[in-house]
């Protein structure tokens, strides 16, 4: 297989999986209530199982490491439930968060493969580049502003500098979460957290950025105050 084709060899399967999972996630998000709670609980259960699956493969792994991983994952899941529970701003806040994480992921994927260049953290994740990180950050900031303007409550202005800053913070958190998961997989000697999602590996592989960014989004929502979107 030519080098150019190899770069994109996994794209078709990734798109096929996304075509199934994305509409389901958006339906549950917009529905809120039981559908959203059920989806997050299902994802959390898969994460708990995947972390246990990774943990037991490491000789001498301690119960503290198992517990720390579970707490990290459940904190992200809890943040998603808490953010969506606000009847006024919950939908917009979670959609803003997810759009930024997805934009970071897609922007980094495309920029990294189209531009390439110096590696971001070769000892942790050899495939990631500085161009990919920059592309993910830029994509997240643009998408964040677009989503904020689309989801802002009536009469609520969107301050461009503040929105860009919040989008950048969440994008950086998302990319750090991705790197953390790569480091953990390398430490535990696995390529993917599981094979539950064709083309994407496991649920942890798909939600690594969300798990890192969701608690930060919850904190920003608290700082914004009741009735205000988290990018305010």
Domain coordinates of the chain in residue numbers? 3-224
Range 158-182 burial, b when 16+ CB lie within 10 A, else e: beeeebbebbbbbbbbbbebbbbbb
Q: Which residues contact 11 (CB under 8 A, 6 or more apart)?
A: none
**Whether the predicted pLDDT of 64 surpasses 80:** yes
CA angle, 166 then 40 then 132, to 5° = 45
**Per-residue pLDDT at 59:** 85
Of 28-32, 49-53, 75-79, 193-197, minimum mean pLDDT range: 193-197
Mean per-residue pLDDT, 183-206: 88
- pLDDT reading at 130 higher than 90: yes
Rounded-to-integer distance, Cα 179 and Cα 102, Å: 15
pLDDT for 7 beyond 80: no
What is the length of the chain? 232
């Amino acid at each position: 297989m030519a080098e150019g084709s190899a770069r994109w060899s996994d794209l078709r399967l990734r798109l096929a999986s996304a075509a199934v999972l994305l509409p389901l996630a958006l339906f549950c998000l917009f529905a809120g209530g039981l559908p959203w709670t059920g989806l997050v609980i299902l994802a959390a259960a898969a994460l708990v199982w995947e972390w246990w699956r990774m943990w037991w493969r490491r000789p001498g792994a301690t119960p503290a490491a198992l517990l720390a991983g579970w707490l990290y994952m459940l904190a992200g899941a809890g943040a998603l439930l808490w953010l969506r529970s606000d009847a006024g701003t919950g939908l917009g806040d979670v959609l803003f968060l997810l759009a930024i994480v997805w934009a970071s992921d897609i922007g980094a994927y495309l920029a990294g493969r189209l531009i390439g260049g110096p590696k971001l953290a070769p000892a942790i994740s050899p495939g990631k580049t500085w161009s990919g990180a920059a592309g993910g950050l830029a994509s997240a900031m643009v998408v964040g502003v677009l989503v904020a303007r689309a989801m802002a409550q009536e009469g609520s202005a969107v301050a461009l500098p503040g929105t860009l800053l919040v989008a950048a913070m969440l994008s950086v958190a998302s990319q750090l979460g991705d790197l953390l998961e790569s480091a953990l997989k390398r430490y535990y000697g696995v390529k993917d957290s599981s094979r539950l999602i064709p083309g994407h590996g496991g649920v942890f592989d798909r939600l690594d950025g969300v798990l890192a960014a969701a608690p930060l989004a919850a904190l920003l929502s608290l700082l914004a105050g009741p009735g205000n979107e988290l990018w305010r």
